[in-house]
Chain A
Amino acid sequence: MTTEYKYLIESLRRRRFLQTSGALGLAAASGVLPQIVYAQGKKILKMRTYADMRSLDPAHSQGIVDEEIQSAIYSKLIQYKPGREWGWELDAAESIEQVDGTHIKFKLKPGIMFTNGYGEMTAEDVKYSFERILDEAIESTNTPDWGSLKEVSVDGKYAGTIVFNEPYPPAWNIALPYIVGNIICKKAWEEAGGKVDTTTPCTSGPYVHQEWQPKQKTILARNPDWYGGSAAFDEIHIFPIDDENTAQIAFESGDIDFTRLSLSAVGNLKASPPENSTIDEYPSLYYVWVGMNVENEVTANQNLRKAIQHCIDVPSILQASYFGAADAATGIIAPGLTGHRAQSMVPPAADIAKAKEYLAAAGMEGGATVTLDVLNKAANVTTAQIIQATCAEAGINVDVNMHESGAFWSLGDSSAGERYKDVQLILNRFSMGPDPSYATAWFITDQRGIWNWEWFSNEEFDKLEAAAKAEADQAARDEMYQRMQDLMEDSGAYRFITHEATPVIYRNSIKPALRPDGLPLLRHFTPA
């Protein structure tokens, strides 16, 4: 072969390569090619979570991130149903029924197999999974989710009864379909010494845990033996990305197929969305409020607290801190949940005249000075400055103290020193599950100095909180939780701000499945 001929061949190959790759690039850019990765013929879903996985043991699950993974690899008797309304659907249970206030009978589907040769799931596995959460030796952080669970009795190979000491309606909302409802294999766990961490001996869901690269990604792979058929994706790659702006960049560059967005990004993205993508907005269960310490010598004055309630202009906060993408909260229980109030006692808009009346009643016509502690995140600092400005109109000087995360979360903790006594106003934000008891539990008298940083104490509230958890009548329950929020607000110790919102963006090549609060249910994601 002559040199010229060789050059010609190479040149043609190069040209052909450039033409082909150029055409492929154009096709991809124009959306002709599907965006789902088909590397080596695999269908891979690429997700983002806000934190890294911490545990694959339901007893030690650290919240949403762990649960997103666990709900894809383990089975539960029932699972949350994707959609805009809270509800559940059967998973491992063939049937499940509340037979009376304290008993739930269930029957497992036969033939649900654990991976790695651990055999079929039986009622003994359900008993072991649920009861170990109560075992003090396990030191589960999720014990409260089971409420008054007494035991699980085994009525047959597949049948059993969940027995409570007293009625526990939240079991259907925050226990059975959530973290503590994951069913593990008794035999495998006993062989592992009763506890696992970031690996798991066996699973039974549509996916199996394949690999965890700390701070990099978690890989789930299709479980070929899943009783429900074939999972939609060969693999799910889950990337921990803390910052939502970074996640947005990752989405725009094609590195991920689904992410939650920051509220600040929604407006721009809606105006100019990335190609082949969809933005959906969901309400959130978070609740944000300004708490006032009733035990502090300054904010012990109820009229001062009420003056501050009327000074805080929630619409301005929603506009500036939440970019108009969130609604005003009427309490701590989000819309769509039992106990949600249609409106708050103090209207969202500030009423400076009324605030001045309360200030006069407080004996502080000349004004007052209070401190406001906030976590040094952008939305919080912006909110604090709006509060500062509107309070100033009524003559209340607000001194804003910003704290980094570690310092902030120990502010009201009475076991961490005497600092909690100096807390006056605090801008706070809690997450919750889809049951009102998840929100009210932190404001009872026993929680003072733990999570009740306002030191709010009300006998009626405490009684209602205990009674509502055990109330099976939904209408009565609804009324009780509404009354509890009335008591909180009437104390002057709380000014409810918002429940925030959950905007998400996803590639049109996938069909996401989300809870009503916008959190992903990975097992239900499918290609479009």
Chain B
Amino acid sequence: MIGILKRITREPLGLIGLSLVVLMLVSALLAGLIAPYDPIELAIIDRLQAPSANHLLGTDQLGRDLFSRVLYGGQVALKVALVSIGAALGIGVLLGMIAGFGPRWLDNFIMLFFDTIRSFPTVMFALATVALVGPSLETVIAVIIVTTIPNYGRVVRTQTLSIKSNEFIKAERAMGASTTRMLGVHVLPNVMGPLMILASMDIPTVIALEAGLSFLGMGVKPPTPSWGSILNDGFGLIRNTPWPIIAGSIPLVLITLGFTFLGESLRDQIDPKLRRNL
């Protein structure tokens, strides 16, 4: 792992990606220490101010400090990304290995489940769910988990099917190794690399989805700051002030670039076929 990290930091794009991701993680985790203001405290008299020494990114229509809201919005983005990708990864790995290693009928059943989920456009599925159960951060996370599971499940299933037919697996089985051991010791380590690349590429997509739903008023509830809700506030005021839109856009752009660069660099390092230094 340290070796991979070292190799990533040697590449300019990898270094930029990693730096942006670390910056985002640190600023979100330390938002309580860094943020100069309470992100939900109203100060209507100070509304729609341009950036200044007091308010680095200006203020929104309720006089709230945009810099503080962006930092706390990072916590929401981080929570959505880590929880939803983590859960989807866990469930996807489990279902993928069961599908790949289990009986044919179970494989067919799980694949039908994956295909059914993937047949719904993600945004439409999210909007329908939110309309039914109401907007909340938990709803957004649940929607992302459900719609992302097939991405990981399919990769794991394919890898499992491929590994299953190898000689060493047959030998293990002949020696009486349990299915759990074969999956845990041989299959799982072999699928983790591609999954990590996939997960790092999915994180900005997931963050953008949360921001999109919040932008539409279907994500986090007020007054919780979210990059999408900052953008939504700014959209209505774009003729008055560009700063809320800029404040909401900057972290989205940076995090998308960060995880994309990091994911590509990670792929170059992990996948020998694509590794440029070979």
Which residue in chain A gives the minimum CB-CB distance to B131?
A: A407
CB neighbours (8 Å) of B131 from chain A are 403-404, 406-407
Number of interface residues of A (CB under 8 A): 29
B147 within 8 A of A: no
- Check if B30 is an interface residue, CB within 8 A of chain A: no
Residues of B contacting A116 in the complex (Cβ-Cβ under 8 angstroms): none
Contact B61 A320 (CB under 8 A): yes
Contact partners of A406 in chain B: CB under 8 A: 131
Residues of B within 8 A of A403 (CB): 131
Interchain CB contact under 8 A, B61 and A382: yes
The reply to whether A381 and B62 contact each other, CB–CB distance below 8 Å, is: no
A379 vs B238: C-alpha distance in the bound complex, in angstroms? Answer: 14
In the bound assembly, the distance between CA atoms of A402 and B215 in angstroms comes to 12
Most chain B CB neighbours (cut-off 10 Å) among A267, A319, A321, A402: A402
0/1 interface trace, chain A 379-422, chain B, CB 8 Å (1 if under):
10110111011000000000111111011000000000000000
**Residues of chain B in range 227-255 having any CB-CB distance to chain A below 8 Å:** 232-233, 235-240
B47 on the interface (CB 8 Å rule)? Answer: yes
Looking at the complex, which of B66-74, B118-126, B164-172, B216-224 is the stretch in contact with chain A? B216-224
Q: Give the size of the chain B interface in residues (CB under 8 angstroms).
A: 25
Number of A-B residue pairs at CB separation under 8 A: 73
Contacts of B238 in A (CB 8 A): 245
A386 to B44, CA, bound (A): 9
State whether the Cβ of A142 lies closer than 8 Å to any Cβ in chain B.
no
Q: Does A353 contact B (CB under 8 A)?
A: no
Which residue of chain A is the closest to B136 with respect to CB atoms? Answer: A401
Contact of A268 among B40, B216, B233, B239 (CB under 8 A): B239
Smallest beta-carbon distance B151→chain A, Å: 28
Does any Cβ of A come within 8 Å of B58's Cβ?
no
- From A268, A316, A384, A400, B240 is in contact (CB under 8 Å) with A268
Q: Which residues of A contact B134 (CB under 8 A)?
A: 401
- Which of B47, B63, B232 is close to A378, meaning CB atoms less than 8 Å apart? B232
A264 touches B217 (CB 8 A): no
Task: Kindly state whether residue B42 has any CB partner on chain A within 8 Å.
Answer: yes
Interface residues of A in 244-283 (CB under 8 A from B): 245, 248, 262, 264-265, 267-268
In contact, A378 and B233 (Cβ under 8 angstroms): yes
Residues of A close to B14: CB separation below 8 A: none
How does the 8 Å CB contact mask read for A310-330 relative to B, with 1 for contact and 0 for none?
000000100111000000000
Chain A 404-448: CB-based contact to B (< 8 A → 1; otherwise 0): 101100000000000000000000000000000000000000000
* A376 in the interface (beta carbon within 8 A): yes
Within 8 A of A (CB), among B48-96: 61-63
A385 and B223 form a contact (CB under 8 A): yes
Q: For the complex, what is the distance from the CA of A319 to the CA of B127, rounded to whole Å?
A: 32
Contact B44–A400 (Cβ < 8 Å): no
**Is A376 a contact partner of B216 (Cβ separation < 8 A)?**
yes
- Residue B153 CB within 8 A of the other chain: no
Minimum CB–CB distance for A421 against chain B, Å: 15
- Hey, which chain A residues are within 8 Å of B236, CB to CB? 245, 264, 378-379
Flag A286-326 by CB within 8 Å of B: 1 or 0 each. 00000000000000000000000000000010011100000
Evaluate contact between B221 and A401: CB separation under 8 angstroms: yes
Query: Besides A316-B44, A404-B217, 8 other CB < 8 A contacts?
Result: A378-B235, A385-B223, A386-B42, A389-B40, A401-B134, A401-B221, A402-B218, A406-B131
User: Can you list 21 A-B contacts (CB < 8 A)?
Assistant: A264-B239, A265-B239, A265-B240, A267-B240, A268-B239, A316-B42, A316-B44, A320-B63, A376-B217, A376-B218, A378-B232, A378-B233, A378-B236, A381-B217, A384-B222, A385-B42, A388-B222, A401-B134, A404-B127, A404-B131, A407-B131
> Which 6 pairs show the lowest CB-CB distances between chains A and B?
A376-B217, A378-B236, A402-B217, A385-B222, A400-B222, A389-B42
